[in-house]
């Protein structure tokens, strides 16, 4: 579960691979996205509220542009990621087991590329 810092919408990951977006004044989800082929392990949203990063038990980390609900990038990980986090500087941290990888550059625009894992 994560809260979008820009508009306070709650992003909730489910065991069926979907992420639903909720507003406190609605009784049904605003949006339902199919993000993974297995359970969603972790969700993070950048500080501007434009991008959502999800990690799934399917060994994938996916980045979505939540302004138009499209996947813009997908990464395969060696093991299922337990946690993803987008820093204030736009770096993406991916954690699994006792390991952490940091991907760069910042999540700033739609046409970006992350560098190699460091």
Residue 79: which CATH number? 2.40.128.630
24-42 residue pLDDT tens: 899 999 999 999 999 999 9
Residue 117 covered by a domain: no
Both tokens assigned to 70: 């499209």
35-80 residue pLDDT tens: 999 999 999 999 999 999 999 999 999 999 999 999 998 888 888 9
Residue 6 covered by a domain: yes
The total of structural domains in the chain comes to 1
Q: What is the pLDDT of residue 115?
A: 41
Residue 109 covered by a domain: no
80-101 residue pLDDT tens: 999 999 988 888 999 988 888 8
**Domain extent at residue 58:** 2-103
Task: Say if residues 52 and 6 touch (Cβ distance below 8 Å).
Answer: no
pLDDT beyond 50 at 110: no
Residue 85 covered by a domain: yes
**More confident: 102 or 84:** 84
β-sheet bridge partners, residue 52: 45, 64
């Amino acid at each position: 579960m994560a809260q979008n810092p820009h508009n306070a919408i709650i992003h909730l990951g489910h065991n069926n691979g979907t992420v639903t977006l909720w507003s406190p004044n609605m009784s049904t989800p605003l949006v339902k996205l199919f993000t993974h082929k297995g359970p969603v392990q972790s969700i993070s949203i950048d500080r501007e509220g434009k991008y959502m990063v999800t990690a799934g038990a399917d060994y994938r980390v996916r980045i979505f542009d939540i302004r138009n609900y499209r996947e813009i990038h997908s990464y395969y990980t060696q093991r299922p990621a337990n946690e993803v986090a987008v820093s204030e500087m736009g770096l993406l941290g991916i954690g699994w087991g006792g390991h952490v990888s940091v991907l760069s550059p910042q999540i700033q625009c739609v046409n970006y590329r992350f560098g190699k894992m460091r």
